[in-house]
Amino acid sequence: MTIDTPVTPERIRDAEVLIRPHIRRTPVLQVDMADFGGAPMPVALKLECLQHTGSFKVRGAFTNLLGRAVPDAGVAAASGGNHGAAVAYAARRVGVRATIYVPSVTSPAKAERISSYGARLVVEGERYADALVASEIFSRESGALAIHAYDQAETLIGQGTLGLEIEEDLPAFDTLLVAVGGGGLIGGIAAWFAGRRRIVSVEPEGSPTLRMALDAGQPVDAPAEGIAADSLAPRRVGELVFPIAQAFVERSILVSDEEIRLAQAALWETARIVVEPGGAAAFAALLGGRYVPAAGERVAVLICGANTMAVQFP
């Protein structure tokens, strides 16, 4: 299937060359679900939680900063936390100013990380959508370059480099589970594979942005609640993401807050991997039985974020 999108494998490959000097090639950990209390089954965990700033977001941030002209006013972004940290980090590396708007729901760990990279941090509103409006006003008034967290071609292209990397690391996998908020990550990855692998989205029950969009046939407003609200709860899935997801994402799975908490705890207790709630969501679908692989199916799970202060789990 072909679709009309600026997010193409060719542009993703070019971006990978552009940003490679600035990002880490994150490791893959092979685990057995028997160690997590399930039936024996090998699973590959792509540990993008070990990326600079603790999430995949630096890929899109560097693609924007290195691929677009940055004005004297610098860059501006709205974020639940991870995108803001990534833009702040990339801006410091490139040597430009960054202003980051976050909502009050942003975790202290993420807010502190943004500030630590030298960005100007502004708290605005209760949810991501509030911070986005404020950042857009600031960009118009100041002339700062706006870097959208998920609904911008360069952002999706940058996140798509993770798909390229996963395919190089795991050339024989069948299915990849990916957590979804606004959809920039799954959009970029799905555009890279373009139907050559099974891509399954995982969303919290409290913020089913992609599920509701797929059901409605277009992006629609969704609830923005739950334990992962600082990373997986925008108001709606991105306009650029949606046609890619329609074409190349097999289905959307919803997981509960409790299942996410249990996945966080299991990753720590069994593999000594610390992840934030959003970073554990995709694994929660497998651990909790929401996604049941077929016999012999080779499954990979993207562990996408680690920005949390919590290291003790119940």
The total number of structural domains that make up the chain: 2
Residues 249 and 185 in one domain: yes
242 and 295 belong to one structural domain: yes
Domain limits for position 48 = 9-56+153-303
Residue 181 lies in a domain: yes
Residue range 152-179: average pLDDT? 97
Mark which of 87, 115, 146 sits at the end of a domain: 146
- 157 with 93, same domain: the answer is no
Which of 23-27, 174-178, 231-235, 279-283 shows the lowest mean pLDDT across its residues? 231-235
Give the CATH number of the domain where residue 264 resides: 3.40.50.1100
Q: pLDDT (tens digit, 9 = 90+) per residue, 80-102?
A: 889 999 999 999 999 999 999 99
Residues 113 and 158 in one domain: no
Identify whether 100 is part of a domain. Answer: yes
Alpha helices in 74-217 (DSSP H): 82-94, 108-116, 128-142, 153-169, 184-193, 209-216
Domain end (from 113, 146, 179): 146
Whose tokens are 């679908």? That residue is 285
Tens of pLDDT along 212-221?
Answer: 999 999 999 9
Q: Which helix (DSSP H) or strand (DSSP E) does residue 102 occupy?
A: strand 98-102
Pairing between β-strand 28-32 and β-strand 42-47 as defined by DSSP bridges: antiparallel
Nearest to residue 73, comparing CAs of 153, 122, 141?
Answer: 141
pLDDT confidence bin for 309, thresholds 50/70/90: low
Give the three-state DSSP class for 28. Answer: strand
Token duo for residue 17: 């060359």
Question: Tens of pLDDT along 183-198?
Answer: 999 999 999 999 999 9
pLDDT per position as a tens digit, 25-39: 999 999 999 999 999
List, as one string, the DSSP characters of 57-95: THHHHHHHHHHSPPPTT-EEEE-SSHHHHHHHHHHHHHT
Over 50: is that where the pLDDT of 313 sits?
no
Supply the pLDDT for residue 105: 84
Check whether residue 39 and residue 118 sit in a common domain.
no
Tell me the C-alpha distance between 21 and 144, whole Å: 25
Domain boundary among 84, 111, 146: 146
- Provide mean pLDDT across the span 163-181: 97
Same domain assignment for residues 49 and 107? no
Residue 314 domain flag: no
Q: How far apart are CA 160 and CA 190, in angstroms?
A: 8
Same domain? For 26 and 117 the reply is no
For residue 217, tell me if it sits in a domain: yes
Residue 311 lies in a domain: no
- Is residue 70 within 8 A of residue 145, CB to CB? The reply is yes
The answer on pLDDT for 232 being more than 70 is no
pLDDT band at residue 16 under the 50/70/90 scheme: very high
Which carries the bigger pLDDT value, residue 240 or residue 126? 240
Task: Render pLDDT for 51-82 as a digit per residue (tens, 0 to 9).
Answer: 999 999 999 999 999 999 999 999 999 998 89
SS3 231: coil
Helices (H), 217-296: 241-248, 257-271, 277-287
Do residues 198 and 290 both lie within one domain? yes
Whether the predicted pLDDT of 206 surpasses 70: yes
Q: Cβ contacts of residue 137 below 8 Å, gap of 6+?
A: none
By C-alpha distance, which of 131, 160, 129, 132 is closest to 60?
160
